[in-house]
A = this chain, B = another copy of it.
Amino acid sequence: MNKTKEEILDAALNLFSQKGFSTVSIRDICSVVNIKESTVYYHFQNKEAILNEILKQFENHSESLIAKMSSAFPALMSDPQAIEKLLPKIMNEYIDGYLTDPFCNKVIRILSIDQLNNPKVHQMYSFWLFEKPLEIQQFVFSIFNNAGIISCDDPAFAAEKFYSPFFFCLSRYLISGELTQEKIGIFKKSIFRHIEEHLR
């Protein structure tokens, strides 16, 4: 991709994730990238198109991450005991490659800020922060249940229970305010404690 176009996307990502789509002006973006406003319109049809490109990249990123994480499932199904070794690995991948990944973290912020103004964003927010994670976890709990490792009669509820601290800590430490290494540390410590507690 073109260098300027990338810079625009990068600046937009940062600004949108800090102040929300509608509060950021094309001028704001341009003064970061150091180009003229009309230049933006050479690279993008309009302001919305910048957001859409960001969202598309996020969707690609998310989907490939899920694909990658899902590749561990077959192994799990044949040897469910592997969970104790695999789980931390998967969790770290999820946290480092998604929740705290600079790009994804910013998009997640955008999703949570702009969900109310933009139907498309709202749908993505619901999907990537509620539906998809719950679906995956519910699926995993079903497997474990079938394998006799755990007994849970309602995988959907189990998933909700398991995911709740995730969502809470995500909101509290990774989205609210600036993202610092310190906050990431607190987040990880807290989350892994919740996971341990849950597995007991």
Contact = CB atoms under 8 A, between A and B. Distances in A.
Interface residues of A, number: 32
Contact of A168 (B117, B125, B160, B197): B160
Contact of A167 (B18, B115, B164, B194): B164
Contacts of A165: 160-161, 164
Contacts of A172: 130
B177 A19 contact: no
A23 interface: yes
A190 B158 CA distance: 12
Interface string A104-127: 000001001101110000100110
A24 to B, nearest CB: 10
A156 to B, nearest CB: 10
A20 B21 CA distance: 12
Q: Which 6 A-B pairs have the closest CB atoms?
A: A164-B164, A164-B168, A164-B165, A167-B168, A22-B23, A130-B172
